[in-house]
Structure 1
C-alpha cells in the first residue's frame, strides 16, 4: 500500500458488478468501520448487508438467471468450517431457554444468535485483499479516534475525582472507567484489544522498504511515513487500553504480544520481563495499584466477587449440567447457590466474569462443548488458510493481516 487513493482504487476494483452484491459489500464495510463507534449502527449495517446479499443470491439462483439444474438453484453462501458447531450451539441455546424457569428472560440471547451471519458476510464479501486492507485501515483509524476519546474521558474523570475524593481516587476510577463511544467500559476494552492485536501484527509483519525477507517471502512494502503513523495510532490504542483498567484485556494483549513478537523477533521476548518490571515500578500509581491488586485478591472487592461467583457457577453447573438455568437467569437464581449463611459480595451478579462458566451455567455443558468446538474449528481453519498447498495458493493478503487474524480468537 503506497497511498490511500491507490488503496481505494484497489478496493473498488474488487467490488462485485451485480447491484445487490455491490450494496451488500458496501453495507458490510460500513458495519466493520462503525464497529468501535456504535454497536447499534454496526448491527444495522450488518443486517442490511445480509438482506442485500440474500436478494443477490436469490436472483442468482433464479431459473432465468442460470441454467436449470439441481445445483443451479442452490444458494451458495460461503461459510467457515464451523457449520455443525454453530448449529449445535444455536440449537442448545434455544433448548436451554425453553427449559428455563423464566424463559422470557432468555429470548434476547436467542435473538443475538443472528449475529453469526457475520461469518457469512466476512468470508463472502471481504475476501478481496484490497478491500480487506482498506477495511482494516479504516478500523485502525476509528479505533485510534475512540482511543483518543477514552484518554480525554480519563483525564476529565481524574480531575473530577481528584477534587471531590482525593483519598479514594483509585476506588472511584476503577468503578467509573473510560468507555470511548461505547455504553460500557467492557465493550470498549474488548474492541480496543482486538484492534490492538491486528495493528501490532500489521506493523510487525508488514515492514517498510529495505527490511529484507520474512519467513522466506518478500514482505509488503510500506513508506516510512505510514509506519510512523501506524505506531502513533498503536500508542494511542495501547494507552486507552491501559487507562481502561480492565485486567482481562491487559492479559489478552499480553498474550498477543508474546505470540506476535515471538514469531517476528523471538529475542525481544527476553526483554519483556524487564519492561513489565519497569512498568510496575515506574508506572503511574493508579496503574501500579491496579496490577498489585492481583497479588492481594481479598483486598479487592472486584476479585473477591469473582471468587465467589466462580464457586456459585460450579454449583449451578452441578445442579443443571444438561441445559443450565437458561440465558439471563443467573441473577434470578444466584442466591440459591450461594454458600449457606453467607451474604453475597455487593456487585453485579448477572455474569460470572468467565465465559466458560457463564455458558456452562446458563446453557449446559453440551452447549459449552459446542462453543469450544466452534472456537477450535475457527482457529484450525485460520491456521490452515495460512499454509499454502498444491490446490490452494498462498493467501495474497498482507502478511500482517494474516498473522493478526488468529489473535481475534
Structure 2
C-alpha cells in the first residue's frame, strides 16, 4: 500500500506545508489589521530572534539574519520607489516607532489630534513614575494602578485606562523595584531555558522551542508600549510555558537515561 511504501508521507508533508502557509498568511493579515505599532515592533523583534537561532551554528544564524534584513530592506525600498506600499501602512509606520518609545514631561505640551496618542501614553508613564517615586520598594500594590491613578495623574489626563501602557513601568508602580526585579529574573530564566533547549532537541521539537523563544521576545518588546496580560492572554501564555517545561523535562529524562 502507499502507506507501507512511504507514498503517503509526501502528501502529509504537503498538507502540513499548505496549512502552515495559510496559517502564516492569516496571522500576517491579523497583525496588519491590528494597526498596532507595538505589535509590529514585537513581531519584528521575534522574527529577528527566530532567524538568528534558526541554524544550529550562530555564525550561520548571523548570516541568515543579515541576508533576511537585506532582502527586507530591498523589498521595502522597491515598494517605496515603485509606490506599491499601502499609503495608510506607510503613514502609520512613518509616524515613527520612536514616538512610542520616547519619554519626557508632557505637562504644558499643547494637545493636538496628531500627538494625542503619544502624549496620552507619556502622561500615564509619568503617573506610573510618580507612584514608583512615592513607593519605590513595594509600589502601590499589585493591581492598584487604576485606583491610585487619581492621586498621581496629570491635569489633562483624568482617565486611568486600566494600566500605564508600559508593563515594566506598570510593575514598577504597583510592586516596586523588588517586584520588577523578580519579574525580570523570572523571564530571564524562561529565555535561558528556551535557548538551552535548542541544541538538545530534534528538528520537530526544536521548531516548537524556536517558536516559543520568538513569542517571549515579541511579548517582552511589545510590553514596552502596552500591557498584554488582559483578555485571558495569560491562559495562552501559561499553556506555552507548560509546553516549554515538558520539552525541558523530556530532555532531562533523555540525558539521565544515557
Q: Calculate the TM-score normalised by the size of structure 1.
A: 0.40
Q: How far has the Cα of 1:268 moved from its partner?
A: 2.2
Q: How does 1:239-318 map to 2 (within 5 A)?
A: 239-264=29-54, 265-266=64-65, 267-277=67-77, 282-294=84-96, 297=99, 299-318=114-133
Gaps of 5+ in 2: 4-8, 55-63, 100-111, 217-258
Per-residue deviation, residues 77-103 of structure 1 (Å, max 9, x unmatched) = xxxxxxxxxxxxxxxxxxxxxxxxxxx
1:373 Cα deviation after fit:
0.4
1:8-407 correspondence runs (5 A): 223-264=13-54, 265-266=64-65, 267-277=67-77, 282-294=84-96, 297=99, 299-339=114-154, 342-344=155-157, 348-388=160-200, 394-395=201-202, 397-407=204-214
Larger C-alpha radius of gyration, 1 or 2?
Answer: 1
Structure 2: distance between partners of 1:229 and 1:395: 21
Residue 324 of structure 1: how far off its partner (Å)? 1.0
CA distance in 2, matches of 1:279, 1:352: 36
Structure 1: which 5+ residue stretches go unaligned? 4-207, 210-220, 389-393
Cα distance in 2, alignment partners of residues 328 and 355 from structure 1: 12
Aligned to 1:327, the other structure's residue is in SS state: coil
Q: How many residues align?
A: 184
Query: Does structure 2 retain, via aligned residues, the 8 Å contact 1:317–1:324?
Result: yes
The CA RMSD measured in Å over matched residues stands at 3.0
Q: Deviations over 1:159-187 (max 9, x none)?
A: xxxxxxxxxxxxxxxxxxxxxxxxxxxxx
Q: Distance in 2 between matches of 1:402 and 1:367?
A: 27
Secondary structure at the aligned position of 2:164 is classed as coil
Per-residue displacement from partner, 1:271-319 (whole Å, max 9, x unpaired)? 1223344567533333233223337957232221111111221111111
TM-score, scaled to structure 2? 0.61
Q: Secondary structure at the match of 2:95?
A: helix
Q: Hey, what's the Cα distance between the residues in 2 that align with 1:232 and 1:338?
A: 46
